[in-house]
């Protein structure tokens, strides 16, 4: 059986959290029921005998959407796509080998939700690419939820090193360009999505179609970004 992509697993977890049953998820994703059940048992054991869960941010009855994307910095990208009103928020990460897991975000991102996302999506991304903790340094900005005691303790307990981050340097964050790339791809669709499911299907496809070379070029730009910010004394740069 072909292994699930990071985005597929994240979408299944989102549907489970939204209260969908294994049968409903299997029908909508064309992924075998037994696979959904194994994922639920491994990642959502508390949902194994319950059909409850948090309500969806948007329902399939909504007909017009915009997409707001969150990266490792969790900084929302400004601008509205031609989909219209409404929004779909997501978090994602990238490695040298390519894009990691992505997930939809419900409600306000706080320290508790941030750590939950790290536990599910960052951990699974590390496992997916066969990484060890010493293989990478995690980059995030100084947002209060990132600097929270709960988040800092989580990184320490999981032996994940953090990249020191200046107070005011969004130009350093290469994943912002990955969000731009994704938004451009979504805007190329001639017709608006007919529901949140179709919108996420498009996001899932375009996210998984991003080639490793795109991530590698962005990561390789980090030394230049750092040099540019230092030269600009923390001010605006071309990045």
Band the pLDDT of 158: cuts 50, 70, 90. very high
Reading phi first (left if > 0) and then psi (alpha if -120 to 50, else beta), residue 172 is in alpha
Give me the percent of the chain exceeding a pLDDT of 70: 72
The Cα–Cα gap between 216 and 213 comes to: 5
CATH of 63-231, one of 2.40.110.10, 3.30.420.10, 2.40.160.40, 2.40.50.140: 3.30.420.10
pTM of the full predicted structure? 0.61
Q: What is the pLDDT of residue 189?
A: 87
Q: Give residue limits of the domains in the chain.
A: 1-49, 63-231
Q: What is the pLDDT of residue 85?
A: 40
């Amino acid at each position: 059986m072909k292994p699930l992509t990071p985005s597929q697993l994240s979408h299944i977890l989102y549907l489970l959290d939204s209260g969908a049953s294994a049968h409903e998820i299997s029908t909508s994703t064309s992924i075998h029921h037994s696979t959904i059940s194994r994922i639920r048992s491994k990642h959502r054991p508390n949902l194994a005998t319950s059909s409850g869960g948090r309500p969806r941010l948007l329902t399939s009855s909504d007909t017009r959407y915009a997409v707001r994307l969150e990266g490792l910095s969790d900084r929302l990208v400004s601008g509205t796509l031609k989909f219209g009103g409404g929004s779909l928020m997501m978090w994602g990460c990238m490695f040298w080998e390519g894009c990691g897991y992505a997930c939809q975000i419900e409600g306000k991102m706080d320290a508790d939700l941030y750590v939950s996302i790290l536990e599910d999506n960052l951990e699974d991304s590390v496992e997916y690419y066969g990484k060890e903790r010493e293989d990478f340094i995690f980059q995030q900005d100084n947002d209060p939820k990132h600097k929270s005691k709960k988040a800092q303790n989580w990184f320490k307990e999981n032996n994940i090193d953090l990249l020191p981050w200046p107070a005011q340097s969004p130009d350093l964050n290469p994943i912002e360009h990955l969000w731009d790339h994704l938004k451009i791809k979504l805007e190329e669709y001639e017709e608006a999505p007919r529901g949140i499911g179709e919108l996420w299907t498009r996001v899932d496809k375009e996210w998984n179609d991003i080639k490793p070379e795109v991530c590698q070029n962005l990561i390789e730009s980090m030394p230049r970004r750092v040099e540019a910010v230092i030269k600009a004394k923390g001010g605006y740069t071309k990045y």
